């Protein structure tokens, strides 16, 4: 499993994920559950230093919650992890809302897993998991259909967009997943609708971070960042820029937003020559000053 990226970058991506996933459906994965009402933070109380954050937490339209994790193995340790997640999410939500939440535990398995038990019992407790097996999806058919539609300039359906996000998970092993992610990135670059691009890219970032080795995951993140829409994923200053725009005028606010974007790209070790294909030398110099580097 890849090492987690810096929490700051996770938080940047969370903003885009929140915008992109709202009102989306899991029906494309074969799950008959309500649409997503809101994307919630995945930080939990009392997480140990060596423990990863859960992948996604959604509030659904019926006011139940969906805790989603992506896995490449079916193991007892994972089911114990889910119970810990559920306990902590319940603790957080009860503290915030003063009522016990109804939580769904959803596990999306990669092509490495073909079956798993829905029930996990530990005497006084029973965990029931809703499962998606990506290996059961017609991955090659989906890929070819999407490719042909994009070649003809046709608009993708919501189902095709949602399936595109998890298509790389159909691969068996790291190398196969890495190849499939790159193939999907090439497809997504052809999508003309920026909102739809952001939806797929934000989902791919979760997958790349979790299932690809760290070095290759960072390469993929940089490739995504090179796209117009991908850059927005790392622009931490979207809200800040708008606020500054109100106070100091739109031009000044946009200037600060672009500098923040350059700072975030530098934190990902994106080469300066690549940054300068999208931003000016003045903006790069200002970003270096923010980071305390010599221009």
Tell me the per-residue pLDDT of 263-281, one tens digit each, with 9 for 90 and over: 877 776 677 887 887 788 8
What are the sequence ranges of the domains in the chain?
Answer: 7-233, 238-290
DSSP assigned state of 53 = P
Q: How confident is the model at residue 76 (pLDDT cuts 50, 70, 90)?
A: very high
All residues at 6 or more sequence positions from 127 whose CB lies less than 8 Å from its CB, including other chains? 79, 82, 83, 86, 105, 119, 120, 121
Distances (CA, A) of 57 to 11, 104, 293: 14, 10, 37
Residue 213 structure tokens: 């080795």
Considering the entire predicted model, what is its pTM? 0.74
Residue 163 structure tokens: 């399936």
Q: How confident is the model at residue 240 (pLDDT cuts 50, 70, 90)?
A: very low
- d(CA 295, CA 275) in angstroms, rounded, equals 14
**Contact present, 198 and 233 (Cβ < 8 Å):** yes
Tell me the per-residue pLDDT of 86-114, one tens digit each, with 9 for 90 and over: 999 999 999 999 999 999 999 999 999 99
Tell me the per-residue pLDDT of 145-196, one tens digit each, with 9 for 90 and over: 999 999 999 999 999 999 998 999 998 988 898 889 888 988 988 998 888 8
Residue 39 structure tokens: 């994307």
Which of 224, 225, 220 has its CA nearest to residue 262?
Answer: 225
Q: Are strands 65-71 and 119-121 parallel, antiparallel or unpaired?
A: unpaired
């Amino acid at each position: 499993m890849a090492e987690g990226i810096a929490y700051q970058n996770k938080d940047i991506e969370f903003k885009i994920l929140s915008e992109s996933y709202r009102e989306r459906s899991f029906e494309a994965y074969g799950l008959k559950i309500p649409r997503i009402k809101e994307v919630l933070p995945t930080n939990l109380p009392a997480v140990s230093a060596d423990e990863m954050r859960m992948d996604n937490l959604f509030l659904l339209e019926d006011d139940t919650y969906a805790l989603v994790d992506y896995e490449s193995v079916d193991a007892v340790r994972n089911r114990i992890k889910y119970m810990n997640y559920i306990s902590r999410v319940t603790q957080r939500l009860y503290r915030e809302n003063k009522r016990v939440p109804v939580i769904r535990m959803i596990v999306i398995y990669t092509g490495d897993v073909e079956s798993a038990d829905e029930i996990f019992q530990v005497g006084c407790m029973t965990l029931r998991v809703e499962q998606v097996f990506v290996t059961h999806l017609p991955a090659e058919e989906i890929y070819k259909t999407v490719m042909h539609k994009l070649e003809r300039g046709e608009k993708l359906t919501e189902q095709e967009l949602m399936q595109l996000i998890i298509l790389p998970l159909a691969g068996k092993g790291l190398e196969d997943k890495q190849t499939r992610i790159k193939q999907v990135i090439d497809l997504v670059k052809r999508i003309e609708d920026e909102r739809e691009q952001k939806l797929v890219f934000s989902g791919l970032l979760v997958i790349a971070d979790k299932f690809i080795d760290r070095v290759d995951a960072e390469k993929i993140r940089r490739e995504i960042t090179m796209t117009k829409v991908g850059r927005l994923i790392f622009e931490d200053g979207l809200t800040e820029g708008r606020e500054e725009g109100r106070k100091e005028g739109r031009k000044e606010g946009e200037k600060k937003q672009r500098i923040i974007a350059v700072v975030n790209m530098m934190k990902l070790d994106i080469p300066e020559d690549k940054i300068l294909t999208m931003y000016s030398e003045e903006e790069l110099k200002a970003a270096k000053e923010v980071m305390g580097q010599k221009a």
